[in-house]
């Protein structure tokens, strides 16, 4: 189990991740191209998941 | 009617319903979102909300239901059974060769739930079908927009697995 300090640190790190250089990172789904790119990336990830489920190995 | 003919008719109907559903989803995201913004800025957005959106959303949400039911029926008819399981259970259980189509089926299921919960429930507030304050409408517009964008994003892998799922070589 993570300690309260650990959770606080994790929360700070996640906040830093969405605040790069003081500017809030935009939600990619606000843009049509961002949405399409996210969909293509998700397809690639799920392709390897499916391959692993079918063959038991990522590399075939 | 034999199973081959029933399967072909089910597949045909599943694709037709899917085009209706995903076609309207793409209309909302690729055309209507930006067009509505421009129409509202010009003070001419009211007819879209009054005449186009209710009808488009009617076919959209029932198209989603029809697509899912027809897809589930097709999975149930899948031959040969995977690991001795019914095709529907094998797909949703991501079993062996049924895993790719199962991933597509799970994505489609998440999208269907999204349509009837986040999108439709919030659109009812935006269109005035259920009473809502201006503040609630602003919040509903953002949630419905993001839910619709999530569905657009999920539709990309969903269609990939629907068209490649039955063609196993790319997964071996």
User: ipTM of the assembly?
Assistant: 0.91
> Using one digit for the tens of pLDDT, what is the confidence trace for A2-45?
677 877 887 777 666 656 555 678 999 999 999 999 999 999 99
Q: Which domain holds residue A9?
A: 4-55
Judged against a pLDDT cut of 90, whether residue B155 lies above it is answered with yes
- Sign, CA dihedral B169-B95-B13-B152, equals negative
Q: What pLDDT is stored for residue A8 in this prediction?
A: 80
Chain A touched by B146 (CB under 8 Å): yes
Q: Is A27 a member of any domain?
A: yes
- Of residues B1, B120, B121, B22, the one with CA closest to residue B71: B22
Tens-place pLDDT, residues B82-111: 677 899 999 999 998 999 999 999 999 999
> What is residue A20's predicted lDDT score, i.e. its pLDDT?
55
Which of chain A's residues have a Cβ under 8 Å away from the Cβ of B96? 53-54
User: Using an 8 Å Cβ cutoff, are A39 and B152 in contact?
Assistant: yes
Yes or no, beta carbons of A54 and B171 under 8 Å apart: yes
Question: What is the pLDDT, as a whole number, of residue A60?
Answer: 52
Write the DSSP string, B13-73: HHHHHHHHHHHHHHIIIIIIHHHHHHHHHTT--HHIIIIIHHHHHHHHHHHHHHHHHHHHH
| Lookup result for tokens 């994003």 | B153
Q: Please give the tally of structural domains in chain A.
A: 1
Over chain B, what is the mean pLDDT? 94
Chain A: closest CA distance from residue B82 (Å): 12
**Is A60 within a domain?**
no
Does a structural domain hold residue A30?
yes
Residue B166: give the domain boundaries: 3-171
Q: Which of B25, B103, B110, B153 to substitute to test the interface with A, most A CBs within 10 Å?
A: B153
Domains held by chain B: number = 1
pLDDT value of residue B84: 78
**B138-to-A3, B122, B132, B141, B152 alpha-carbon distances in Å:** 39, 10, 10, 5, 21
> What are the structure tokens assigned to A34, written together?
């961002």
Instruction: State pLDDT tens for residues B49-66.
Output: 999 999 999 999 999 999
Residue B2: per-residue pLDDT: 83
| A50 in a structural domain | yes
């Amino acid at each position: 189990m993570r300690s309260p300090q650990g959770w606080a640190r994790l929360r700070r790190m996640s906040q830093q991740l969405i605040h790069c250089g003081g500017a809030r990172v935009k939600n990619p789904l606000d843009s049509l191209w961002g949405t399409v790119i996210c969909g293509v990336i998700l397809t690639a990830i799920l392709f390897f998941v499916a391959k692993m489920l079918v063959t038991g190995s990522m590399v075939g | 009617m034999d199973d081959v003919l029933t399967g072909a008719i089910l597949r045909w109907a599943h694709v037709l319903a899917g085009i209706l559903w995903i076609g309207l989803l793409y209309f909302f995201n690729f055309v209507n979102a930006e067009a509505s913004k421009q129409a509202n800025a010009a003070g001419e957005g009211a007819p879209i909300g009054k005449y186009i959106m209710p009808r488009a959303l009617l076919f959209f949400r029932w198209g989603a239901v029809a697509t899912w039911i027809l897809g589930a029926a097709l999975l149930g008819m899948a031959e040969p059974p995977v690991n001795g399981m019914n095709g529907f259970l094998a797909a949703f259980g991501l079993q062996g060769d049924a895993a790719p189509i199962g991933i597509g089926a799970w994505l489609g299921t998440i999208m269907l739930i999204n349509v009837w919960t986040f999108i439709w429930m919030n659109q009812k507030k935006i269109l005035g079908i259920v009473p809502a304050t201006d503040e609630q409408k602003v919040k509903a517009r953002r949630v419905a927009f993001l839910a619709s964008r999530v569905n657009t994003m999920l539709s990309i892998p969903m269609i990939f697995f629907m068209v490649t799922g039955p063609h196993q070589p790319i997964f071996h």
